[in-house]
Amino acid sequence: MSDLTLSCDNAHPNSCLIIDVDLRSHENNSAHHTREIDRERLIVRRGQSFSITLQCSDSVPPRHYLELILHLGKRDEVVIKGRKERGAGDKWWFNEQQVQNEILLTVHSPADAIVGQYRLAVLLMTPTGHIFQETKKVEFHLLFNPWCKDDVVYLPEENLLQEYIMNEAGIIYMGAWDNIKSIPWNYGQFEDYVMDICFEVLDNSNNALKNSKMDMELRSDPVYVSRIITAMVNSNGDRGLLTGKWNEPYTDGVPPYQWTGSVPILKQWSKNGIRTVKYGQCWVFAGVACTVLRCLGIPTRLITNFSSAHDVDGNLSVDFLLDERYDSINRQRDSSWNFHCWVESWMRRDDLPKGNDGWQVLDPTPQELSDGEFCCGPCPVAAIKEGNVGVKYDARFVFAEVNADIIYWMVKQDGQWQKIRVDQSGVGKNISTKSVYGDHREDVTLHYKYPEGSKEEREVYKRAGGQVTESTNDIAEPLQLQLSIKHAEPVFGTDFDVIVEMKNNGSKDADAQLTILAIAVTYNSIHRGECHRQMTRVTVPARKAHKEVLRLRYDDYVRCISDHNQIRVKAVLEALGENKPIMAMANIPLSRPELLIQVGDLILQQVTAYISFTNPLPVALNGGVFTVEGAGLLYATKVHVRGNVFPGQKVSVKLAFSPMRTGVRKLLVDFDSDRLKDVKGVATLVVRKKY
């Protein structure tokens, strides 16, 4: 089948020699690891040759020769001439082989070529350099090439490429550092139209709209492209993909917890005329960024940083202000998030001194301005570990996210601040990503920092410009009292106990007042209300421990709990006669029940999924809806549940679909209702070739 129509030079109306072109998409796309994106259109990677065939009506006249002209941009912002002879490594060139009436062209792109949609014209030239015939332009896409050793995104290990470029199914870690949960995520970077939308995202950045030629020329550089992506995934100050919102109501959009993958977000943005999609939070921003970067050919993985600091003033400490009742004072801007998600992309940093290659932090969640845009990175992980906070881009902000000290201050009625707790190891814990060896967690904390409490860790903190403060452990505690909080892993909908243990290492009994405060918070530390407060006079015997139990009932916390299902418990112990209180804190994520998914056999090219769920709450659920999707299986589909789901009642739905692509596939399901949200499930199935 012809890939183009042809036009001939007016001077030679009967001399159309080139009558057809075969772009050989099937074999080229297979060789370039792009056949999952498309098998019909030509999609190739830079720094690697590809072949096209010219069908001719006759042999080429003596001393006539071929030229290739490449056009980039909607208004031909960049035009490149491909030479027949091999030039320098930074030039497009081709060689040809003629067999009877066919010419095989092998086209070589440089490893630093601009990524994008190219239009290619073949010119047949006369010996005097005039155009004898010019074909109409054919289109192909060029992507980054992590398989090519000369490309700055080169990643030499095939198992890493299979995960960080080719895997469309991911896992995102959430919860708290000592109670890690996970949800499945469908990246879907090879789904229909996703690649086109990724380039549409680049075309709508502020830089592209301001100066499309300069923007196009810079698209050879993954540092530039990835930074643009972090700005465009959020919609702050540009035509970006997603609007962030961290509190209800979400009635004019989709609640962040309802998304199970990136594809519906990308498609909705494009289909609705480049209008921002509502709503996202950090894991949604990171999931979408991972999809776009993997699709463009930049190896990328999603990272979760537990106990993540947001240091607004750049002093590398997070200051929490409490009043004399131990309630938080709202005027503070620093915060500590239970977890925060970003992505890392792999690239060489030729713009920086040696030692900064490899994984780079990119954070698309809109937090602080960087060079006038809500973007963050790329920032070398290696620079963060060594405290080199002057490195491009945004190293100081990222360093604080994983290393800031947390200081708690009591603000007295007379306005004086009293330091009541310093925590040097509470930030940047269990930094996590999905393993390349399966669906389990890999801990990458030591890529970001030296072990907590080590000499190197404190030296790096000083090098970064942090004010080294004495830790609570170094402050002589009154009567050697110690305070800790213990809890089980409670399930949302149940009553549960929180145990506060006080140890007295001194030789005298200690009389004290204990205040236990349970607060509903979002994962990024926004207070939603007090669930329970308990004040008790206690005596802790010498060299012994004493325990107090706080019973938290469903009715206590359901009134104010956020959609993140997080409870923060603060315990404060004030020894009588001492003016320095001791404080302990625990973030308790409440688990959600599980969805059960069973997948039947493939019959007549159809699969049926059976999904069931039992209501664990003591109240009925209304407005239940299942959302089902899976890369290569089916697009996001909603199944509504009729009527109420009563306490203890099981609800079952079945859904038949026809898989679109072969291989190991993940089916993702989300359930939401009025009182219970963000219940997730996942099933793995193998789709074999049709016989």
On the 0-12 / 13-18 / 19+ scale of CB atoms within 10 A, 12 is middle
Looking at residue 489, the DSSP 8-state letter turns out to be -
- Rounded to an integer, what distance in angstroms lies between the CA atom of residue 159 and that of residue 165? 10
Nearby residues of 489 by Cβ (< 8 Å), 6 or more positions away? 179, 591
Asked whether 548 and 532 are in contact (CB, 8 A), the reply is no
- Rounded to an integer, what distance in angstroms lies between the CA atom of residue 569 and that of residue 498? 8
H helix or E strand, kind and range, residue 303: strand 300-310
Widest CA span in the chain: 110
Q: What's the start-to-end Cα distance of the chain, in Å?
A: 25
**Annotated active-site residue in 8, 198, 282, 531:** 282
Give the C-alpha distances (Å, rounded to integers) separating 163 from 45, 252, 413, 441, 447: 18, 36, 56, 14, 19
405 known ligand binder: yes
Q: Is 376 a catalytic residue?
A: no
Tokens for 6, please give them: 């042809």
- Rounded to an integer, what distance in angstroms lies between the CA atom of residue 77 and that of residue 117? 12
Reported for 105-110, long-range contacts at CB under 8 A and 24+ positions apart, including other chains, are: 105/51, 105/52, 105/53, 105/54, 105/66, 105/68, 106/49, 106/50, 106/51, 107/49, 107/50, 107/51, 107/52, 107/68, 107/82, 108/49, 109/44, 109/46, 109/47, 109/48, 109/49, 109/142, 110/46, 110/47
Q: Cis bond leading into 393, ω under 30°?
A: yes
574 known ligand binder: no
Asked whether 401 and 394 are in contact (CB, 8 A), the reply is no
H helix or E strand, kind and range, residue 421: strand 417-423
Asked whether 429 and 308 are in contact (CB, 8 A), the reply is no
Q: Is 340 a catalytic residue?
A: yes
Beta strands in 93-210 (DSSP E): 93-99, 102-108, 116-125, 131-135, 138-143, 169-176, 179-186
Length of the chain (residues): 691
**Annotated active-site residue in 310, 340, 487, 564:** 340
Asked whether 362 and 226 are in contact (CB, 8 A), the reply is yes
- Give the type of residue at 450: Y
Looking at residue 162, the DSSP 8-state letter turns out to be I
457 known ligand binder: yes
**Annotated active-site residue in 203, 311, 363, 670:** 363
Q: Within 13 Å and on the Cβ side, how many CA atoms surround 140? A: 30
Q: Is 148 a catalytic residue?
A: no
- Rounded to an integer, what distance in angstroms lies between the CA atom of residue 120 and that of residue 113? 15
**Active centre residues (catalytic):** 282, 340, 363
Binding residues: 403, 405, 452, 457
Binding residues for Ca(2+): 403, 405, 452, 457
